[in-house]
Amino acid sequence: ISTQESNPKKLWSMITGRKLREVQDIALHELPHRRQHVGIHNQLVFINDSKATNLTALKFALNKMSSPYVLILCGDPSKEQYDSYKIIGPTKVYIFGKHAEEISKKIFHPDKILLCNQGLSSVMNLIFKDVYHCQTNILFSPGHPSGQDYKNFEERGDHFIKLALGSND
């Protein structure tokens, strides 16, 4: 089944076979860890997309972003089947963790900041110390499975949220 319909009430009516007038209000909520707006700190808008565990999800997130923005990558690229990818859009790309060097060899961007064997808190410290002249989005969309850095996407997303909201490591 394929449809171009985006109205949740109409979709629910189509799925259940109920008449449209019988469908109650449907509220669609943000999914945690999927392009989740975390908060704003001065000029920085934090977006948690830690569920982006592959290149397809990363590309989707990048296509939805508005400039200017900074990208944070991590995870294990060996589980992804791509040779290289040129990232277009972000002003900077931070790559951290135990797999940072492996990711850096596959990802191309003119302003990559590599933090080998360092954690997300090191990245966030650099981001908070940087100077921003306008509102800037900080996108945490790792693009790879967690690997050796985190147990899973929930753990790394929760860590990002904690750091973005100003809690210490």
Res 47: pLDDT: 96
Residue 1 has pLDDT above 60, yes or no: no
Give the number of other CB atoms < 10 A from CB of residue 152. Answer: 14
Tokens representing 84? 């290289």
Res 165: pLDDT: 92
Neighbouring C-alpha atoms within 13 Å toward the C-beta of 99? 20
Res 16: pLDDT: 79
Handedness of CA 55, 60, 61, 67 (dihedral sign): positive
> Mean pLDDT across the chain, nearest whole number?
88
Distance CA(92)–CA(69), nearest Å, equals: 8
Distance CA(131)–CA(7), nearest Å, equals: 41
Interval 19-53: pLDDT, tens: 877 777 666 556 667 788 899 999 999 999 999 99
What is residue 17's three-state secondary structure? coil
Res 2: pLDDT: 58
145 near 51, Cβ under 8 Å?
no
Portion of the chain with pLDDT greater than 70, in percent = 88
Q: In what order do the strands lie in the sheet with 69-73?
A: 36-41, 44-48, 136-140, 69-73, 92-97, 112-116
Give the number of other CB atoms < 10 A from CB of residue 5. Answer: 11
Q: Which domains does the chain have, with CATH numbers?
A: 1-30 (no CATH), 32-164 (3.90.190.20)
97 near 119, Cβ under 8 Å?
yes
